[in-house]
Structure 1
Amino acid sequence: MAMVTARASGNPYIFRLFGNFTTQFRSYASRSSIFQNSVAHLEKLIQTRCKSRNLTVEEALGYFNSMIQIRPIPSIWAFNQLFGSLSNMNQYSTVVSMYRVMMGCDHFRPDVGTMNIVIKCFCCLKKVKFGFSVLGTIFKGGHRHDASTLNTLLDGLCKEGSFAAASELFQEIVEKEHPYSDFTFAIIINGFCKARETWKALELLKQMFNNQRIKPTLHCFSPIIDSFCKEGRIDEALSLFLDMIDCGVVPNIICYNALIFGLSKSGRWEEARRVLADMLDFGVSPDTITCTTLIDSLCKENKTQEAISLFELMTRKGIEPNVWTFNSLIFTLCKHGRWKEVTDFIENMTNYGVSPDIVTYNILLDAQCKQGRTTGALHLVEAIINKGALPDGMTYSFLLNRLCHSGRFEEAERLFGDMASQKIFPDNITLNVILNALSDEGMMEKSQKLVDAMIEQNKELNIITYNILIKGYCLQGKMDKAKDVFDQMAKKGVLPDTISYNTLVNGYARINKFGIALKLYNDMIQKGLAPNHVTHNTLKKIRAYRRKASIQ
């Protein structure tokens, strides 16, 4: 045991457990008479416990520590079974730590199966480069890697977003004729689709038709069909779907859901219904996503009663709704002011074991704000927090809008302070609404404080935000501050537009600083900005004032 502890590296918690559970395991082993009959009994027990699917991490650690101490050392398949079970339990770090201990043990000879499990664990931990180190160990040991080895590394690269590296590895696999399978192509096709390079995925699919070794499978077609639907390329998705069926590939629920989503989103209801009918003819039963996709689309088309009827049908058929299903219905009911049904659906959620999420609360909050119920909205936010849900930027944005529109600026300021303390900031649309309201009330100090807080957090402000500030200062005659904002926006890489210049020109004209106003006008022309009717009206006023002054 001292040798194992000395050589062990990795997770110290695991190795403390090794010591703790060795004693427990020995007691258990004694009671079961495992060691009375030889290593074969230990291997049989491990096989049985792994197949039972109720193996605990602590139990696995106990088995492992005993396996590396007894002689002769158990066969590699026993280790692989233990590793495989832990990997399926998402105990990736545990497997990696065990592997490192094993590599320090004499007489231990891992095979490709062992290495594949360890590579998978490194990839799941988003440490693909360590997975490649294990691949190097395979080569050094004189082992022959299989398709699963390289597929795991390829999938790991795609999942961590290293699509260029994944593409390079794929090319090497194919060109150097390493072991590969249809799943190898499916992985890279899916990766291209996630990188929004659907055309590359389609090219690869076409190459598969000319490949003598493999033919495209469902997992090669479905990511492209899904991408086409999300990109609004519905006709191409339908065409590829038919090609897939012609190839003898049977579609699954994922393919059908993608098509129904795309068709419904595009308002092609009759075609969506036909796809649903085809799906049923193929013996594929609709699931929660199928029904919810249709319900959500019906709600967006203001076909509220049809959406409710479909909800009732899906629940009668035993298809469980999820929070997205309820949110879609609650949103459309709020939109049409059907408050009694909103209450019914919220109460109905708990009957299906579904808890409202922050989207649910935001829908209700938005409805309260649009109804002008500021106090009710504030109470709802308190209820959200009391239920343990964390308000997000949307929650605060709805409430800030409402508070500003109802003139409750002190409360809005306090709310913004709460947001800033939680590192939550409004989006530019909400920010501009707030600034407009403050500017109209002449509260430029509060406006500037709000903008400064956003800049401190490295938030990018848009041209509208700067123009609102310039307008507010100009209305107060504070032209120095208005010009400071104008200069600051250029430093931030936001180029002034015609509105920016018009506001400043008009502001200087109002305080009779016509020379500066005309200089700004000339600067605007030199920058290639086209004057509009506001510009021309301001210039007319300047000329009229100058003519009057010259006569006097």
Structure 2
Amino acid sequence: MSIFATMSLRYGFFRRFSSAISYPYPVPRDLSGAGTTCQLRPALMSNADCRPQPLYRTVEFLLNLRDLDTANEYARLAALSRSEILCNSTISTCDSIIGAMCEAKRYKDALYMYHYFFNESKMKPSCKSSNHIIKALCDLGRVDDALLLFHHISPGCVTYDHLTKGLVDAGRIDEALSLVRESVSGDSMSLAYRNLVSGFLNLGKLDMAIQLLDEFKPHGWSREQYNERAMVKVAFVEHWLKQERDEEAMQWYMSLVSNKYLTVYGDTGNALLEVLFRYGKKTQAWELFNQMLDGFHRGCISVNSKTIDIMVKECFKEGQFMEGIETFEKVKAKTKDLRAADYTNLITRCCEQGMLAKAESLYAELSSDRCMRIDVSTYRAMMDAYIKAGRVDDALKTAKNMVDANLTKLSQWTRS
């Protein structure tokens, strides 16, 4: 039977099955062994503020404290806070709790909340919530369930990324190819094409991979489009490095880095950095980073939080702790637009290595900037480091600062 006949039968089944379902967004309910199920308590929050924005901030606060069960209970109130036109805060509450449950691999809870919000409470899901569920289903190997939901939502580029990867991993690459070619998404499909190219390369079908690269032609040739096509070409660099054919790999690599548009956008550069480090090409990785940093200095969007984390992580993995700190300082010298997450990653790594003095210095620097909010994970890293060093009083002081900061912020949000 041809692949198209198989697809036709499969999707015919989806249509017949979905027509018999009373819910608009079908998700499976039989996820044995797929994470815990939250035991919801009776409603104890009769005085809870159900206005969309305060409720969203409360859920975010609880998620920052890693209290998923209480956050889950509050998030359910979003169904009561909605108006005829869903506001952004209500949608964000749904996205946050479903995403947090998926990140914690509590898939049963994530699927229950998706069903509760968008079937029982008749809200319309955002693409973000649906993407969380589709990725979770693909991770669980339930690609057919993911496809079924896919046909009931408005997909975007991330949706196609998750689905094509799930199909390729399941050995159903021809279905992934048909899915992409029949796409009606107006977004970039570079990640989906990269999944397909990688899949065909792994099957030894080089001609098909090159054909797909030629087929992927973004609309126009702006700097953004150059980088989208470059993202697909990264798959060829990784393939040849995996095959230990360095000459071919470096030919593809040089075709990318010689393009003056490459370092304008960080995602492609980040993908290359990860591949180069993965296969031991450290010299080329550091050269690329410096090239990206030079573009950053000229005002190009070539270095972002992920770039910094990749480089610092590599230094610490190799035991080159001071080099990691110097890399962070080098980026900081180029810009004043660092984010709190950039500090958090380095502070956490310094704490893990017992470099408490440097962690304190970075923590103080972060605390002094009123434009950046310290994440709960930063407080926790500092508390753990203080306890490990026997500085219990400092740990307690940090814990108090964490509670005070979050309660103050929550109070401000709920009054707004």
The alignment's TM-score, normalised by the length of structure 2, stands at 0.52
Which amino acid counterpart does residue 204 of structure 1 have in structure 2? L
Give the corresponding residue for 1:510: none
Structure 1 residues 287 and 162: CA distance shift in structure 2, 3 A: farther
Give the corresponding residue for 1:226: 238
- Residue 17 of structure 1 pairs with residue 39 of structure 2: yes
Structure 1 residues 319 and 193: CA distance shift in structure 2, 3 A: farther
Q: Deviations over 1:36-65 (max 9, x none)?
A: x74553233224444x3x333312332244
Which of 96, 116, 120 lines up with 1:81 in the alignment?
Answer: 96
Write the distance in 1 (CA, Å) between the matches of 2:201 and 2:57.
Answer: 44
**Alignment of structure 1 residues 143-162 onto 2, 5 Å:** 144-162=154-172
Give the corresponding residue for 1:254: 274
Give the corresponding residue for 2:115: 100
**Alignment of structure 1 residues 103-114 onto 2, 5 Å:** 103-114=118-129
Structure 1 residues 166 and 278: CA distance shift in structure 2, 3 A: same
Give the corresponding residue for 2:14: none
- Using the TM superposition, give the Cα deviation of residue 130 of structure 1 relative to its aligned residue in structure 2, in angstroms: 0.9
Which amino acid counterpart does residue 169 of structure 1 have in structure 2? L
Give the corresponding residue for 2:21: none
Write the distance in 2 (CA, Å) between the matches of 1:107 and 1:291.
Answer: 48
Write the distance in 2 (CA, Å) between the matches of 1:72 and 1:287.
Answer: 45
Write the distance in 1 (CA, Å) between the matches of 2:316 and 2:59.
Answer: 44
Structure 1 residues 68 and 226: CA distance shift in structure 2, 3 A: same
**Alignment of structure 1 residues 49-198 onto 2, 5 Å:** 49-50=62-63, 52=64, 54-68=65-79, 75-138=90-153, 144-173=154-183, 179-198=187-206
Give the corresponding residue for 1:374: none
Asked if the contact 1:257–1:290 (Cα under 8 Å) also holds between the matched residues in 2, the reply is no
Asked if the contact 2:240–2:246 (Cα under 8 Å) also holds between the matched residues in 1, the reply is yes
Secondary structure of 1:34's partner? coil
Which amino acid counterpart does residue 155 of structure 1 have in structure 2? K
Structure 1 residues 255 and 149: CA distance shift in structure 2, 3 A: closer
Aligned Cα RMSD in Å?
4.1
Of all paired residues, the percent bearing the same amino acid is: 14
Give the corresponding residue for 1:461: none
Which amino acid counterpart does residue 83 of structure 1 have in structure 2? I
Structure 1 residues 208 and 290: CA distance shift in structure 2, 3 A: farther
Asked if the contact 1:185–1:220 (Cα under 8 Å) also holds between the matched residues in 2, the reply is yes
Structure 1 residues 14 and 188: CA distance shift in structure 2, 3 A: same
Give the corresponding residue for 2:48: 34
Write the distance in 2 (CA, Å) between the matches of 1:145 and 1:286.
Answer: 33
Which amino acid counterpart does residue 276 of structure 2 have in structure 1? Y
Question: What is the aligned length?
Answer: 266
Q: Deviations over 1:273-321 (max 9, x none)?
A: 6x477457546997887999xxxxxxxxxxxxxxxxxxxxx5455579x
Which amino acid counterpart does residue 105 of structure 2 have in structure 1? N
Write the distance in 1 (CA, Å) between the matches of 2:178 and 2:155.
Answer: 18
- Using the TM superposition, give the Cα deviation of residue 228 of structure 1 relative to its aligned residue in structure 2, in angstroms: 1.0
Write the distance in 2 (CA, Å) between the matches of 1:288 and 1:112.
Answer: 31
Which of 204, 208, 212 lines up with 2:212 in the alignment?
Answer: 204
Write the distance in 1 (CA, Å) between the matches of 2:37 and 2:319.
Answer: 50
Which amino acid counterpart does residue 250 of structure 2 have in structure 1? L
Which amino acid counterpart does residue 44 of structure 1 have in structure 2? R
Secondary structure of 1:215's partner? helix
Give the corresponding residue for 1:237: 249
Asked if the contact 2:138–2:163 (Cα under 8 Å) also holds between the matched residues in 1, the reply is yes
- Using the TM superposition, give the Cα deviation of residue 240 of structure 1 relative to its aligned residue in structure 2, in angstroms: 1.2
**Alignment of structure 1 residues 183-332 onto 2, 5 Å:** 183-208=191-216, 212=220, 214-217=225-228, 218-247=230-259, 248-250=261-263, 251=269, 252-257=272-277, 260=280, 275=284, 278-279=287-288, 282=291, 315=319, 318=322
The alignment's TM-score, normalised by the length of structure 1, stands at 0.40
Unaligned 5+ runs, structure 2: 1-27, 264-268, 294-306, 325-351, 355-416
Secondary structure of 2:42's partner? helix
Asked if the contact 1:76–1:111 (Cα under 8 Å) also holds between the matched residues in 2, the reply is yes
- Using the TM superposition, give the Cα deviation of residue 235 of structure 1 relative to its aligned residue in structure 2, in angstroms: 2.0
- Using the TM superposition, give the Cα deviation of residue 225 of structure 1 relative to its aligned residue in structure 2, in angstroms: 0.8
Secondary structure of 2:244's partner? coil
Unaligned 5+ runs, structure 1: 1-7, 139-143, 262-271, 293-313, 321-350, 354-552
Write the distance in 2 (CA, Å) between the matches of 1:280 and 1:109.
Answer: 42
Secondary structure of 2:171's partner? coil
Write the distance in 1 (CA, Å) between the matches of 2:114 and 2:165.
Answer: 21
Q: Deviations over 1:393-433 (max 9, x none)?
A: xxxxxxxxxxxxxxxxxxxxxxxxxxxxxxxxxxxxxxxxx
- Using the TM superposition, give the Cα deviation of residue 69 of structure 1 relative to its aligned residue in structure 2, in angstroms: 6.1
Asked if the contact 1:157–1:165 (Cα under 8 Å) also holds between the matched residues in 2, the reply is yes
Structure 1 residues 206 and 60: CA distance shift in structure 2, 3 A: same
Write the distance in 2 (CA, Å) between the matches of 1:39 and 1:278.
Answer: 48
Which amino acid counterpart does residue 257 of structure 1 have in structure 2? F
Q: Deviations over 1:489-515 (max 9, x none)?
A: xxxxxxxxxxxxxxxxxxxxxxxxxxx
Write the distance in 2 (CA, Å) between the matches of 1:15 and 1:241.
Answer: 46
Asked if the contact 1:256–1:276 (Cα under 8 Å) also holds between the matched residues in 2, the reply is yes
Write the distance in 1 (CA, Å) between the matches of 2:77 and 2:273.
Answer: 46
Write the distance in 2 (CA, Å) between the matches of 1:55 and 1:43.
Answer: 15
- Using the TM superposition, give the Cα deviation of residue 199 of structure 1 relative to its aligned residue in structure 2, in angstroms: 4.1
Give the corresponding residue for 1:489: none
Asked if the contact 2:55–2:75 (Cα under 8 Å) also holds between the matched residues in 1, the reply is no
Write the distance in 1 (CA, Å) between the matches of 2:277 and 2:122.
Answer: 52
